[in-house]
Every structure is written in C-alpha cells, then in structure tokens.
Amino acid sequence: MNRLPLRGPGAAALAFVLSACATDQLTDAAGRGASLELQAASGPSLVINEIMPNPAAVSDDVGEWFEVYNAGTAAVDLLNYAIASNNDAVHVINQSVVVPAGGYAVLARSGDPAVNGGVAANYSYAHQTFNLNNSATDWLALRDPSGASVDSVSWGTTSPPNGASRGVVDALADNLVMSGPNWSTQTTVYGLGDRGTPGAANDGAATPPPPPPPPAPGTGVLVINEILADPRAVADAAGEWFEVHNAGTAAVDLQGWTIASLNDAPHVVSASVVVPAGGFAVLGRNGDAATNGGVTVSYVYAGATTVNLGNGTDWLALRDAAGASVDSVVWTSTVAGTSRALIDPASDNLNVNGAAWTNSEALFGAGDRGTPGAANASGGGGGGGGEAGVVASVTVSINSPRQIPVGYTKPAFANARDGANQTVTGVAYTWTSSAPSIAAVDSMGYIQGRGVGTATITATAPNGVSGSAQIGILEADVPTTAVYRSHVEFGTPAAPGVLVSKREFVSSYSETRGGPNWVSWNLNATHFGPAARCDCFTADQTLPAGTTPVVDFNYRNGGYDRGHMVQSESRTATYQENAATFLLTNILPQAGENNQGPWVQFENYLNDLARQQGKEIYVVAGGEYSANPATLKNEGRVQVPEWTWKVAVVMDGGQGLAQVHGHGDLRVLAVRMPNDTAAARGIRNHPWQTYQTTVDHIEARTGYDLLSALPNAVERIVESGTRAPVAATDGPYVGIEGSPVTLDASGSSDPDGDALSFAWSFGDGATGTGARPAHTWADNGTYAVRVIVSDPYGAADTATTTVTVMNVAPQVAAFAGGQLLQGETYAAAGSFADPGADSWTATVDYGDGSGARPLALAGTGFALSHRYAAAGTFTVTVRVTDDDGAAGVRTATVVVQSPAQAVEALAGDVDGLAADGAIARGAAVSLNAKLRAAGASLARGDRATAVNQLEAFVHEVRAMADSGRIPAADAAALTAAARRIAASVQSL
C-alpha cells in the first residue's frame, strides 16, 4: 500500500479524529479521554493526478507533462516545491504556480503549445535535466519546500502507453502504482492528436466523497490489542489482521458488530465470533493459513466491504451491534513484517505509535512477527515496553524487487529498535538463511542466489531478537526476445586486463584499476522491455581464477555513484539481462553530478535513437585516469577515473560494419566528461553536448584504438571529427569540339578551413586535377562531369555538372582549278580539316552536267580526276559531310578550250614572238598560214587534215629552230602547244 502522506479528505478525516481525542469523541478501551500527541499533516493535499511520459504527436523532449490535483480546501503555491524522477536531477520550481482548491496545474517539459502537442502548461521545467522515461523503471515524486514528500508515483510493472496519458481514477485512493487499478488510460483527444485531459478532470474519474465521519464514542470491555497492517511474508491483501482482547469477565459475541477504517466501507460481522473472557479473537482479510502467512483467523472480513489497514496513516474502530463505539485506535506509520502489540490492555491504546504499544518480537507462521490469538509479550494482554537502548525488535529490508537470479547478490539491511521505538545502532548481527542452498548470506548481510526458490534471511541481535525478510531466487538465464549483434563490431581495443564476454556486453576488466578499462555493447530497440531494475550489484564470478573481484561493499559509502557503463534501462527485455548490467565488470565510480547529469542525458539520447528512430548503435565507454588516481575510501582497491568517456557509432537498424562504405554511412558521437568530484561539481544541469569531443582525442588520452575495424579512410575521418568540404562548380558549360573548355570548382569550401584537392572526371574517359582545369572534348555531345573535392583527412564531397560540346563542320581546303583542252583530264589533290573525332563522306561535282558523285577519302585527303569532253568553263564542287550531318564545301574553276580556240590562241602566240623580234615577220606569216589552214579544216570537220596541218606547223618550227631563226625555248613551247592541240583533236 501507498506509504505516502495522507492527502485531501483523508487528511481532513484524520485531523478530525485527532481533534476529537481532546474532547473524548474517540474512545479507548479503558474509557478514558485520550489525547494523542501525534498531529495529522495540516499541509496541502496535492495528488499527482495524470502523467504523459510517452507522447506520439511530438517528441518526448517537448511533449512530456504531468498534472497535479489539489484535493484540499485551500489554494497551494508550488513555488520552491521540487520534482524528482529516477536517474534525473531534482528540479526546484522557481516561479509561482498556484493550484486552486479542487483545481489542477500542468507541469511540462515545454511550455509552448505550438511545439508541445497543444498542452496549456502552467509551468515548464528544463527538458535537459528532467524526463519521464517510457520504460517501467521510472518514478515521479513531488516534495514540499522542506524536502518532505507530498506524493509519489511508480510506473509499476508495465511501460506507459504510446500517445496517451495515464490518469488517476480516485484521487483519494492509493495512487502509488501507475499501472495499478486506480489509474486508467485516457481517451480524450487534445492538441495534435494525443490523448489526455491536461488541466481538467480525468476520463472516468470518481467524484471525491466527503470525509468519513469519525467513530462515535462508546464504552466496552473489548480492546483492539494487536495489529499487523503491513505483513512482509505475504502480500497485504492476504496477510493483514488485527486482534481483539476481551478484558471483561463475560464472553462477547461479535456477530452484528461493525469494523470501520479510514476511507473503507464499514464491515458488519456476519457470523458468530465469540471472544471468551480474558481471551482473544483474530479478524483478518484471509482465512487460509497456507496463504495468509500462517495465521489462525477467527473471522474473515474480506468481500465487497473489505477493510484495508493502511501502512501509512489510518485508524480502526470497533462498534457494537447498536452502533456504539467500543474501541478505536489510530496510527501514522507501521513496521513491515511486525505487528504492533498493546503492552497493557488497561492503558490508553488510542495511539498505536505511542508508548503504550510495542513491536512484536516473536516469529509466527511464514516469518512475520506477532502473537495472533495469544497474549502479547508480557502481562495480561500485552507486555513491558522494554529497556531503552536494548534491542526490542529487528526489521530486515531488501530493496525491491526482492529477487535476484542465481549467481547474483543483493544486500539485506537490518534495523534495530528498542522498547521506546528508538533506533539502536552498532548492533553486531548474526545473519542466517533458511535455505543456504537457495540463498546464502554472509556476515555483512549480502545475499547470494544459489538455487531457484525462496529463502528467509534473518538478522539476529546479540540478545536473540531477530528480524527476517524473504527473497526469491530466479533462474540464472531465460530466453529473450532481444537481438544482440556484435558488441565489438568496430574493434576490440587492446588493453591490459581480462576480456569478459557476456550476452549483454563485452568488458575489458583491469584488476589493477578494480573496474573495466572499457565496456563495449550493441544497442537497439529490442533491448528494451518491461523488466524491473534488479538493483543487484554483484562481483563477476566469470573472472579467471586468481583474479581478485571487486564487491559491492568496495563502493559502499565511497562518495561516488556505482556508474553503469551499459545502462540498466537498456537491458530490460528480461530481469536476467537487467541483472547483468549490475555486474561490477560493468561499473565504474562516477561522480553523482556527472552520472545523474550529462552522462544520463547522453544515455537517454542514445536510447531514444534506438527506441524511437530504430537506430542500430554500437557503444564503447570507459574511464581516463590520472597518473596517481584516487581510490574509493582510500582503500587502494577501486581507482576513480578523472574523466569518463563514451563513443557511439550510430547506423540504421540492422546495419553494421559490412554496410560501411564511406564516412557518410555512419554517425560517430564522442563525449568526455569530468568525473573527479571537485571537477564535476555543478555540471549536473549541463547539456551533454557541452562535453562532445573527438574519438582521436579520447584515443590520445587513453591509448586505445577504439574503431580499428573501420576502413582506414573512414576511420581517419570519423575519429578526427573533421567536417567534409562542400563541392561546387559554376557549370553547366557549353563548348565546341576540338576547343578547350575551362571548368571551375574554386567556389568549393571547407567548414574547417582545410586546403582542398580536386579530382575531375570529364565524362569522356579522361581525368584531371586542380580547381580550374581546361579540357578539350574530341567529339560533340553532352558529357556528365564530376569533381571530388577532398580535405587532407580524406573527407570528400562530390559535385556534378554537364558540358555540352557543339559539333564543328569539316573545313575543305582550297584546291587547284585548271586550264584544259577539250578531251583532256582534270586532276587535282585536296584535303579538309575537322577538330571532331568524326567519320566523313564526300562528293564531287565537276560541273559538266555529269552530277555529284562519291569522292573517295584517304584520311582527310582526296584526289580529283575528270575528262572534259566539251569545251567551256566548269565549277568543280567538293562537299565533305561528317557523321553529324554538318558539311564543308569548296569549289574550283576548270576552263576547257576547243581545238579551234587553241589554234587561234597559238596563232596569237606566234604573232607575239614576231612582235617581240624573236622570229622574222615572214616566218610568222608562214607559220600562221598553216595554223589558219588547220583552223579551217577543223571548221569543216576535217580533223585528220587539221592534224596533218598542225604537224606541218611543228616541222616548220623545228626547221626554224635548227637554222637558228627561232630561239629553242620558244620553239619548244610552240611545238608542245601544237602537239597538245593535235592530241585534243585526235581524242574527239
């Protein structure tokens, strides 16, 4: 049951009961007016009424909130109240937040409805320092300015729902466990679509009833003599009971009588229960001695009107059949596993916590303490209060949950009190186990699980007074749904020590340091579940023989947290997996400000990446030590690291080393946080990002090669923390084939200011370097160009652009024309040029009507040849076409004379020689006469005669030459011309 301070109308009822004591309204068995010295809390009645740990419409960082309800009759200002949560820094409310009577206040991580999912918050607490976890391991508490607990809620056994809050059904009932029956999942939609009722009554909330009336005064001889409100051997619902003693002289039958208790429906005894004079009757919630802790019960009051005996503030009254109060008692606290017994039935028994009552010492049944159905420790119905300072009772407590797997340890704590209910210190207890083969216990109270089952652990004071508690031992291992990938996926750092490989992690344990050099583990969404926190710090029994293990006591009162490397919350698929995180091969001393501040923030950040974004994460963490490290309690056993560090490799779900091809395939985060108590002072509220560093820096400080399995190029980049350059070009570009185009990537930049190098791929098989290379493309087309811009560490970025290269037509060079005679063949050689790597075709048209014809090419050259049968002036056209259809054209002129025209021209040459004095005028007349005769023959079509006449011309010229009447050169020219004309004539 909830052990928190009583709230709301319940508190008012208790106050009424206590005030009634002063006016004889509450009746004790002795019939005397009882004045109880204890006071009910008169402070505010605040209830943690609604909690949203896991919003879906927005992220947890901005969407978490919880609601406080004021069940009292006066407004309460929360200024300087504190809120606390598991593993989070305590946050003190630093502004006025008034919660009106019967009203609500919403406290949220973000106060902006535009980003928090639509919640109108009354107060916003810093999201870096306080969060509501989504697993079942969290709790939330509200404390007043004095530090006293006002209310607190545990998440319980199941994780909160996604996208819906949990709300209290009855604000006056036990609200301790959020997964319990007094809480319900809210259905009203608010804001962006999550479900909840922030600032309003919860869905299905019960209307608070008025405070129950106090029991009426009365008289009687029956005494409420012994009460066990908080059994430990069994659950409260099975093991609560109280005892009635008949101090009179006649038997009394309780049938028809009424049992009443705070906040419970009265129960009327429905069967005959005879309490003999001087005797006892035990009334309990469960009549089965096999399940109620071993109590023989006279009457069972279970059913629809079950009376609950509160472990905190409560009262109990017994009324006769007429409704008159016979006896009533009140208490504000109880002792687990131990009944409170009335010492003297004739004394004022109103205050169960007062001197008239004592803690029972005798064991009964399953191990709780009490004397149900029998006289108390001494005298009549009770016994003496005991001597001050002498142990009168011992209670044994074991942190919840009271269970460990085989092979693990958990401490039990003993507390002794004397007859005045004062704590007795310095007691040398003897520890024993009811089943050492199941659970052994050492001289310091450390329990070790040895076999599956249940055992009772007992601490006995030197005077024989003892106390006990039960513990369950679970199987060492169970099947799990968690999927574990390699914990050393990216390397196993070399370090002196022992390599310890677990299903849950790999640890490099140093006996010298008394802790791990480093711990490495995989983290993904399958590792989270409903398992509770084991809280079982244990020496690792798998260390090699001869290795001195560290034990929990080495840490006890050492001034440092027992800091998990693998976080407990990230191993909650099964209880056994969670227990593994408490092995001391996974623990380092951590300053509280570090462990509970930025360190847990970073843990929660990685957990959110795994659970909410489905990331696969590989983590390695450890300590960095000074040359002469301090040790816990100066014992020289466990060294305290000066810094703690952590490196996380973040990838998409299911990925690992095989999927790393470049530095962009993974994200690496590294932190290094001060861990010396003095150096860490004040860092609790610092964001984890304050302590980001590089892997290179951690490696330089520790000597470890943390990510050695990465490809060297990738390792160099991600470990240095260098930022990749940003590549840029001023493309796209346009050019022509055969001419250079200048490319420009000088606009690229580097965030770190590093010098850059450039590697180009031009798209035509060629490559280049430099920021502004020039490149010539041999053929037209569109080319994809890429430039890789790299810094000195190998970090690179790529830019792409295009170059469009335009085609250039072939250029045909000038070629010779010709002067021909009819029937002669024209011949010329030509060539062309083309900057492109093309193929070509060519045609030639000789201009004589024969049309264009293919022209054979020899590389970029060609030869022309054509016989002209007719006289005239002709244009020779050469066309060269490339494979893209572009053409180059060049022409030349060929003049073709008829033989008659040639004879006439030759006659003119003869006249010219005469005019120049090269021949005599008479000789010229003779020669021209032959030429005119040849011309006349040609005119008549007598080609044979014309040829003979031309031959006669030749013979005469030769004779003239032989006789010296014409220069030899001129004679040769005239002779050649005449013979050429004759050949022309003969060819026709």
- Residues designated as active site: 564
- Using alpha carbons, select from 184, 183, 161 the residue that is nearest to residue 173: 183
CA distance 846 to 865: 9
Kindly give the pairing relationship between strand 393-398 and strand 222-228: unpaired
Supply the DSSP string of 783-842, one letter for each residue.
Answer: EEEEEEEE-TTS-EEEEEEEEEEEP---EEPP---EEEETTPEEEEEEEEE-SS---EEE
As beta bridge partners, residue 828 has 864
**CB-based contact 73:79 (threshold 8 Å):** no
Q: Is the dihedral of CA 449, 451, 452, 454 positive or negative?
A: negative
CA 71 vs CA 7, 205, 214, 693: distances in Å: 7, 13, 19, 50
CA distance 114 to 127: 16
Instruction: Write out 217-277 in H/E/C secondary structure.
Output: CCCCCEEEEEEECCCCCCCHHHHCEEEEEECCCCCEECCCCEEEECCCCCEECCCCCEECC
CA distance 448 to 551: 12
CA 525 to chain centroid, in Å, comes to 10
In this structure, what token pair is assigned to residue 496?
Answer: 């002196």
CA distance 752 to 729: 20
CA distance 542 to 560: 25
Helix, strand or coil, per DSSP, at residue 448: strand
Which residues does 868 contact at the CB level (< 8 Å), separation at least 6? 820, 822, 823, 824, 825, 826, 846, 848, 874, 894, 896
Other Cβ atoms closer than 10 A to 206: 13
C-alpha count within 13 angstroms, C-beta hemisphere, residue 206: 13
Supply the DSSP string of 101-149, one letter for each residue.
Answer: TT-EEEEES---TTTTTS---SEE--TTT----SSTT-EEEEE-TTS-E
Backbone angles phi, psi at 721, to 5 degrees: 75, 10
Supply the DSSP string of 924-959, one letter for each residue.
Answer: HHHHHHHHHHHHHHHHHT-HHHHHHHHHHHHHHHHH
CA distance 173 to 71: 11
**CB-based contact 410:399 (threshold 8 Å):** yes
**CB-based contact 373:241 (threshold 8 Å):** no
**CB-based contact 385:358 (threshold 8 Å):** yes
CA distance 852 to 595: 94
In this structure, what token pair is assigned to residue 21?
Answer: 């004591």
Instruction: Write out 635-689 in H/E/C secondary structure.
Output: CCCCECCCEEEEEEEEECCCCCHHHCCCHHHCEEEEEEEECCCCCCCCCCCCCHH
Q: What angle do CA 869, 874, 878 make, to 5 degrees?
A: 110
C-alpha count within 13 angstroms, C-beta hemisphere, residue 428: 1
As beta bridge partners, residue 892 has 876
**CB-based contact 928:911 (threshold 8 Å):** yes
- Using alpha carbons, select from 39, 734, 731 the residue that is nearest to residue 332: 39
Which residues does 472 contact at the CB level (< 8 Å), separation at least 6? 402, 403, 453, 454
